[in-house]
Amino acid sequence: MSTGTRPRPLPDQLARLDRTLVMGVVNVTPDSFSDGGRWFKPGAAVAHGVTLMGQGADILDVGGESTRPGSRRVPVDEELVRVLPVVEDLVRRGAVVSVDTTRAVVAREAVAAGAQIINDVSGGLADPEMHATVARTGVVYVAMHWRGHADVMDANDSYGDVVADVRRELAERVAELRAAGVHDEQIVLDPGLGFAKAGSSNWPLLGRLPELVADGFPVLVGASRKRFLGHLLAGPEGGPAPPLARDGATAAVSALAAQAGAWCVRVHEVAGSADAVRVAAAWRDGADDRGATTTREDMP
C-alpha cells in the first residue's frame, strides 16, 4: 500500500504522515441521514469535533447542508450561519478543518475563517465560481464525482463501466480546475460513493480503487454509513441495516481503502477507522520488511 501523491498545501503534521488520513464528519444540520441532527447547535458541533479529534481524526469536515438522497437545499445565508462559527471555533482549538460545501461564497468565507480544505461534492458543477475561488485561495480542493443535487441524483444512476465513466468525468473536472488556475498539488479526487450510485454501482469503485489512485491524484473515499452498506448488511427480513449499525462495515472499507492507496477516508465514527488505517499501514510496512528475520527471542 502507498498513499501516493499528497496535496502540497496541507499542514506539515499531516503531510509527513505515511498512512491514510481520517476525516471526521461534523454535520451542522438538522436532517443528516447519519445522526439525525444531534450536532446541529454550534456548541454541540464543536464539542463533537473535539471528541472526534481525540478519537484520532486528522481532519474535521464541517458541513451545513445535508446531501442525503432527496434533501432540499438551504439558503446560502443559513448555510453560512451554521458553518462559520463552528469552523472558527475548531480552528482555534487546533483542528485542521475542511468545509463541506458546493457554494463558492461559503468556501471563501470558511477559508477566511481558517479552513484549509474545500470539500465540494459537486466538483464545481453546482457553482461556476467555485474553481476560481479554489485558485484564489490556494487551499486543498476535494472534487467529487457528481451528477446532480440530492433531490435528483438517484435518477442519474446509469453507467456503462462505472469505473471508466467516473474516471472520465473526474478527468473533466481536473481539466476545468487547471483551466481556472488551480494547481495539481491542490486537487484531491473522490469517486462519489452513493451519489448517483444507489446500490451495486458503488462496489466496482471500491474493488477497482487502485485504478483511480493510478490516475495520479490523491483519492478520498467516503463510504461511511451509506445506503449500499445498509443493503449489504440487511437483516433476515430484508430491510437495510440502519445507519448507526453500519460502522463496522465502514471501518472494514477504511482498512481496504487504505490498503488500496486511498489518501483519506471520510467517516462519522472515527475510532474504528483510525485503528483500521493504522493496521493497514503496519500491514504494509510488515510486508515491505522482506529482509527481516524472526528468532525465538522475538516471539511472544
List residues with catalytic annotation.
Answer: 226, 266
Contacts 24+ apart (CB under 8 A), 85-90: 85/42, 86/26, 86/28, 86/42, 86/45, 86/46, 86/49, 86/62, 87/62, 87/113, 87/114, 87/115, 88/113, 88/114, 89/42, 89/46, 90/26, 90/46, 90/49, 90/50, 90/60, 90/62
Q: Cα 204 vs. chain centroid, distance in angstroms?
A: 18
Q: Cell numbers for 197, please give them.
A: 450510485
Q: Cell numbers for 122, please give them.
A: 459537486
Q: Cell numbers for 299, please give them.
A: 516471539
**CB-CB contact of 248 with 225 (8 Å):** no
C-beta neighbour count of 27 within 10 angstroms: 28
CA distance 119 to 26: 13
**Would you call 207 helix, strand, or coil by DSSP?**
helix
In 3D space, the residue among 256, 186, 243, 251 whose CA is nearest the CA of residue 217 turns out to be: 186
Is residue 137 exposed (0-12), middle (13-18) or buried (19+ Cβ within 10 Å)? buried
Which residue has 495539481 as its cell numbers? Answer: 184
Q: Cell numbers for 8, please give them.
A: 502540497
